[in-house]
Amino acid sequence: MEHDLFIEIPWALERDTKPLDNEVKYPEALVRHFLKKYTKKGDKIFDPFAGLGTTLFTSEEMGRIPYGLEANRERFEWVAGQLEHWNNLKHGDSAKLLDFSFPKMDFCITGPPYMPRHHKWNPLYSGDPKKAGYDVYLKRMAYIFSNLKKLMKRNALVIVQADNLTHGKIYTPLLHDLLACVSKNFQPCGETMVRWKNAKPDYPSTTCMIFKNT
Ligand SMILES: C[S@@+](CC[C@H](N)C(=O)[O-])C[C@H]1O[C@@H](n2cnc3c(N)ncnc32)[C@H](O)[C@@H]1O
């Protein structure tokens, strides 16, 4: 299978997320692109960081079966309240994804929570001060993906959308650090650069890393 090196997707958030903020969301068209390319109807699609449910809603719309986890109760309730397969979305920590009796998955696409390297607040632990710091975040991320490996079918693909971060003079090579974390358990097999059509000036593009469960 040839992976796209470069694609263009409109920057458009189609689903109204009120009363919740849509800051964390990726466009539906991004998920649609990867589902169309790599999956078929009836496939089980997983998102360990479901957020506002873009992966799950788009999977359902395309006749795939969505599953996911979301740690934030408000987001979880908002998504589950609108999803046909509402019982496939669980509220909880993706580090414990093997505790939820999910079936084996055909495909995963996700946008993990971001952490700049100079921050103490670790989003994977909802800011627990005992779990502060970028190193702890990366270690936990690697652990989450080691569990995800056990949930995915053999040869299943995992797409991880991420960006490097610039805060003034501080640069966080998050994309590259996540590549290192996920590669401990999955084989990297490509990278699709996504240019947003009608982009916001401060966010012209993103990257989707492609991994295989070999
Ligand atoms: C970048 S957002 C995902 C957005 C999603 N792709 C969308 O389009 O709505 C990351 C999500 O991961 C959730 N999260 C953070 N830590 C988590 C954890 N340990 N387990 C499960 N979800 C977690 C956050 O609450 C957030 O909603």
How far, in Å, CA of 40 to CA of 125, rounded? 34
Distance from the CA of 51 to the center of ligand 1, in angstroms? 4
- Domain membership of residue 153 as a residue range: 6-14+21-212
Number of separate domains in the chain:
1
Q: What pLDDT tens digit does each residue of the chain (214 aa) get?
A: 899 999 999 999 999 999 999 989 999 999 999 999 999 999 999 999 999 999 999 999 999 999 999 999 999 999 999 999 999 999 999 999 999 999 999 999 999 999 999 999 999 999 999 999 999 999 999 999 999 999 999 999 999 999 999 999 999 999 999 999 999 999 999 999 999 999 989 999 999 999 999 9
Give the per-residue pLDDT at 1. 81
How far, in Å, CA of 149 to CA of 183, rounded? 11
135 inside domain: yes
Distance from the CA of 91 to the center of ligand 1, in angstroms? 11
Tell whether ligand 1 has an atom less than 6 A from the beta carbon of residue 52: yes
What pTM does this model have?
0.97
User: 3-class DSSP state for residue 36?
Assistant: helix
Tell whether ligand 1 has an atom less than 6 A from the beta carbon of residue 94: yes
Please state the atom number of ligand 1 nearest to the C-alpha of residue 124.
16
Token pair belonging to 31: 């998920």
Token pair belonging to 152: 């995915």
Q: Are strands 203-212 and 152-162 parallel, antiparallel or unpaired?
A: antiparallel
Distance from the CA of 55 to the center of ligand 1, in angstroms? 11
Q: Single out the residue of 194, 189, 190, 191 nearest to residue 204, CA to CA.
A: 194
100 HSE (CA, 13 A, CB side):
24
67 inside domain: yes
155 inside domain: yes
143 inside domain: yes
Token pair belonging to 4: 């796209």
CATH of the domain at 82: 3.40.50.150
1 inside domain: no
